[in-house]
Amino acid sequence: MRYYVKFFHNGKIADGKSVLRDGDEIAFYPPISGC
């Protein structure tokens, strides 16, 4: 399972979206163990 979190400049976190804008959101896959 892959967890991707988008971080907005506003400080909001969008989870479950695979939409990238003009660099406002950065999609990365954090290493999660045990989940």
What confidence category does residue 21 fall into, taking pLDDT thresholds of 50, 70 and 90? Answer: low
User: Taking the chain, what is the end-to-end CA distance rounded to the nearest angstrom?
Assistant: 9
Question: Average pLDDT for residues 2-26, to the nearest whole number?
Answer: 50
Residue 6's CB: how many other CB atoms inside 10 A? Answer: 19
Question: Average pLDDT for residues 17-23, to the nearest whole number?
Answer: 51
CA separation (Å) from 10 to 6, 7, 19, 33? Answer: 11, 8, 16, 28
Domain boundaries in the chain?
A: 1-35
